[in-house]
């Protein structure tokens, strides 16, 4: 899979949640190309084309980041902070997808520039509907700007 | 003698006649007598002054000793004040320690409920998800028994999820600070009734909503109170052909109480003390679903507002729940006219 095809970056450490989320999205043919980062560090490497992902390019950003908050190494809030604090990645839509509906997570998440906040419900039917709606909205309805990296690449050529 | 000394008052002129001399002596004696009188007066005056001085001195001594006493007292007072201040410092220290302990346990509770919120829900979601996927993909090939088991798994997960949510909510109510604003209770009730419509479906429920007071309260929390009490009324009137739910206000011991009355299955008053306890249920799970946390949360909210909640019921004849929200209510009634854009 080349990264031109990546539509969703799913940042999730729990294997079961990865499987359920994939199931919810793929059953609807919403996203055939989901890349999974299993911790915050891997997510940052992917987004900033570093480490194992140094071959990636900024002009091929994912169309959507689904971000869990409780992650090993670097937590979701730190990923969000770096992502939204950098002009190269700021425009990538980030949907926080987490178990918690703690007020402070909501406040901090939006404060750092999250585009949406979805609580994963216990009931799978509801979970599927929420993930499906988010995918549908951000991938099919939302009009995204040309990535900052892409315009720079175009200017250089 | 070449020149006689010039005569002067009080001098003795040797050349004078004996009468003159006698007169002069008398004059001198008279002068002496006058001088003595003056001296006596001066002496008297000096004595007076000395006496005044001595009086002043004894007064000064008195003052001085009084001042010394005062200083002694001051010293004693200061020692007492120092002791008291030590006590105070000790108390402050203890208070601070208690406060730190409370803050630590609060943080612990918060960390606990945060982790409950995150970690306990995840496995439930997985159980629910995979059993649903099992049914979706293989349901038709499963024997009836197996389908039933999967349904029970799903139902168990749903209940557990509800329990976790309700417990988290109860914990949240406890540590939340009230954000007070003047709120029309009638508006809250109308919103809650609208939210309940899907649960009612095609049942016949007759709502009787009277005018309700305005209250200076935490609107989100008081809405939760109505959500719980009205949902209970809807739930426990389920066996009734025609459910009647009445919401109004009454005077109770000088303060105005809001009541919610239904014609549902009620309960026996001998269990009334269990009504607001956590995990206490007065009905069997197969008759009426519930976690036994709702009324505990309701009571906590009402108590946080300085109010009181109680219930009157009779088995099979319905129940009435009453609550006050403390003194805030009275001010709120006056504020009624000040509110615009709110239906009354």
Q: Which fold has domain A3-156?
A: Rossmann fold (3.40.50)
- Contacts of A71 by beta carbon, 8 Å cutoff, 6+ apart: A11, A12, A13, A39, A40, A43, A79
Query: Which of A124, A125, A128, A132 to mutate against chain B (most B CBs within 10 Å)?
Result: A124
d(CA B250, CA B238): 26
Residue B251: its pLDDT value, please? 85
Q: Per DSSP, what are the bridge partners of residue B248?
A: B259
- State the pLDDT confidence band at B330, using cuts at 50, 70 and 90: very low
Residue B343: its pLDDT value, please? 42
- CB-CB: which of B117, B118, B128 is closest to A123? B128
pLDDT at B1 over 70: no
Nearest chain A alpha carbon to B131: A124
pLDDT at B305 over 80: yes
How far does the CA of residue B245 sit from the closest CA of chain A (Å)?
A: 31
Residue A156: its pLDDT value, please? 46
Q: What angle do CA B272, B277, B278 make, to 5 degrees?
A: 150
d(CA A110, CA A117): 8
Looking at residues B112-126, what average pLDDT do you find?
80
CB contact under 8 A, B125 and A101: no
- CB-CB: which of A16, A69, A99 is closest to B121? A99
- State the pLDDT confidence band at B2, using cuts at 50, 70 and 90: very low
Edge to edge, what strands does the sheet with B205-209 contain?
B205-209, B243-252, B255-262, B318-324, B308-314
Place of tokens 């999967």: B150
ipTM (interface predicted TM): 0.74
Q: What is the pLDDT of residues A54-69, one digit of tens each?
A: 988 888 889 999 999 9
Query: Which of A104, A122, A123 to mutate against chain B (most B CBs within 10 Å)?
Result: A122
- CB-CB: which of B128, B130, B131 is closest to A122? B128
CB contact under 8 A, B121 and A122: yes
d(CA B8, CA B321): 127
Nearest chain A alpha carbon to B155: A123
Length of chain B: 344
Q: Of the ranges A72-81, B56-65, B322-331, B335-344, which one carries the lowest mean pLDDT score?
A: B335-344
Chain A residues whose C-beta sits inside 8 Å of any chain B C-beta: 14, 16-17, 20, 23, 69-70, 98-102, 120-125, 127
Where are the domains positioned within chain A?
3-156
Strand pairing of A116-119 and A94-98? parallel
- CB-CB: which of A16, A98, A125 is closest to B126? A16
Q: What angle do CA B108, B275, B269 make, to 5 degrees?
A: 160
Place of tokens 């999250």: A114
Q: What angle do CA B313, B319, B320 make, to 5 degrees?
A: 100
Residue A157: its pLDDT value, please? 41
- State the pLDDT confidence band at B13, using cuts at 50, 70 and 90: low
CB contact under 8 A, A20 and B158: no
> Chain A partners of B118 at a C-beta cutoff of 8 Å?
69-70, 98-100
How far does the CA of residue A63 sit from the closest CA of chain B (Å)?
A: 26
Q: What is the pLDDT of residues A101-114, one digit of tens each?
A: 778 889 999 999 99
> Chain A partners of B157 at a C-beta cutoff of 8 Å?
122
d(CA B106, CA B99): 10
Residue B344: its pLDDT value, please? 38
Residue A154: its pLDDT value, please? 45
For residues B291-317, one letter each, b for 16 or more C-beta atoms within 10 angstroms of the residue's C-beta and e for the rest, the string is bbbbbbbbbbbbebbebbbbbebeeee
d(CA B303, CA B225): 12
Whether the CB-CB separation of B278 and B300 falls below 8 Å is answered with: no
Residue A124: its pLDDT value, please? 87
Residue B340: its pLDDT value, please? 41
Residue B192: its pLDDT value, please? 94
- State the pLDDT confidence band at B242, using cuts at 50, 70 and 90: very high
CB contact under 8 A, B128 and A16: no
Q: What is the pLDDT of residues B33-83, one digit of tens each?
A: 888 888 888 888 888 888 888 888 888 989 888 889 998 888 888 899 988
Give the residue ranges of chain A where pLDDT is below 70: 1-5, 31, 147-157
Q: Per DSSP, what are the bridge partners of residue B260?
A: B247, B321
Residue B15: its pLDDT value, please? 64
Mean of per-residue pLDDT scores for chain B: 84
CA atoms within 13 A on the CB side of B282: 22
Distances (CA, A) of B321 to B181, B226, B260, B265: 24, 11, 5, 14
> Taking Cα atoms as reference points, which of A154, A117, A135 lies closest to residue A62?
A135
More confident residue, B313 or B174: B313
Residue B271: its pLDDT value, please? 84
How far does the CA of residue B101 sit from the closest CA of chain A (Å)?
A: 23
Backbone torsion region of residue B316, taken as left when φ is above 0, otherwise alpha when ψ lies between -120 and 50, otherwise beta: left
Q: Of the ranges A91-105, B24-38, B161-175, which one carries the lowest mean pLDDT score?
A: B161-175
């Amino acid at each position: 899979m080349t990264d031109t095809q990546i539509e969703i970056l799913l940042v999730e450490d729990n294997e079961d949640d990865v499987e359920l989320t994939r199931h919810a999205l793929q059953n609807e043919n919403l996203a055939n190309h989901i890349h999974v980062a299993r911790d915050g560090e891997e997510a940052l490497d992917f987004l900033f084309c570093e480490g194992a992902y140094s071959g990636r390019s900024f002009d091929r950003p994912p169309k959507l980041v689904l971000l869990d908050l409780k992650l090993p190494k670097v937590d979701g809030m730190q990923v969000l902070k770096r992502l939204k604090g950098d002009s190269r990645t700021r425009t990538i839509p980030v949907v926080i997808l987490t178990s918690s509906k703690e007020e402070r997570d909501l406040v901090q998440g939006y404060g750092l520039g999250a585009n949406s906040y979805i609580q994963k419900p216990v009931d799978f039917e509801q979970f599927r509907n929420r993930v499906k709606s988010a995918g549908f909205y951000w991938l099919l309805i939302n009009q995204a700007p040309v990535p900052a990296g892409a315009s720079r690449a175009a200017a250089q050529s | 003698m070449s020149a006689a000394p010039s005569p002067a008052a009080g001098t003795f002129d040797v050349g004078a006649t004996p009468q003159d001399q006698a007169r002069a002596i008398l004059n001198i004696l008279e002068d002496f007598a006058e001088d003595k009188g003056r001296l006596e007066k001066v002496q008297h005056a000096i004595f007076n002054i000395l006496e005044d001085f001595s009086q002043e001195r004894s007064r000064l001594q008195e003052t001085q000793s009084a001042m010394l006493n005062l200083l002694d007292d001051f010293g004693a007072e200061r020692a007492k004040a120092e002791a008291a201040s030590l006590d105070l410092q000790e108390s402050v220290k203890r208070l601070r320690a208690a406060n730190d302990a409370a803050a630590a346990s609060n943080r612990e509770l918060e960390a606990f409920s945060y982790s409950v919120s995150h970690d306990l829900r995840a496995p439930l979601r997985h159980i629910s998800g995979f059993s649903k996927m099992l049914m979706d993909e293989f349901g038709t090939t499963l024997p009836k028994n197996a389908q039933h088991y999967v349904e029970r798994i799903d139902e168990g997960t749903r209940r557990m999820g509800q329990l976790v949510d309700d417990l988290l909510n109860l914990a949240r109510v406890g540590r939340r600070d009230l954000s007070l604003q003047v709120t029309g209770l009638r508006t809250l009730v109308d919103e809650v009734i609208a939210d309940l419509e899907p649960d009612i479906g095609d049942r016949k429920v007759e709502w009787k909503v009277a005018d309700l007071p305005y209250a200076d309260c935490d609107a989100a929390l008081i809405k939760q109170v109505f959500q719980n009490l009205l949902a209970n009324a809807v739930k426990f009137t389920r066996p009734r052909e025609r459910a009647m739910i009445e919401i109004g206000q009454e005077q109770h011991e000088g303060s105005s109480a809001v009541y919610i009355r239904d014609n549902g299955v009620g309960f026996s008053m001998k269990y009334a003390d269990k009504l607001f306890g956590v995990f206490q249920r007065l009905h069997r799970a197969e008759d009426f679903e519930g976690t036994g946390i709702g009324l505990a949360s309701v009571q906590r909210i009402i108590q946080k507002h300085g109010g009181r909640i109680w219930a009157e019921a009779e088995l099979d004849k319905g129940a009435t729940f009453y609550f006050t929200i403390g003194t805030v209510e009275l001010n709120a009634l006056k504020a009624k006219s000040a509110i615009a854009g709110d239906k009354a």
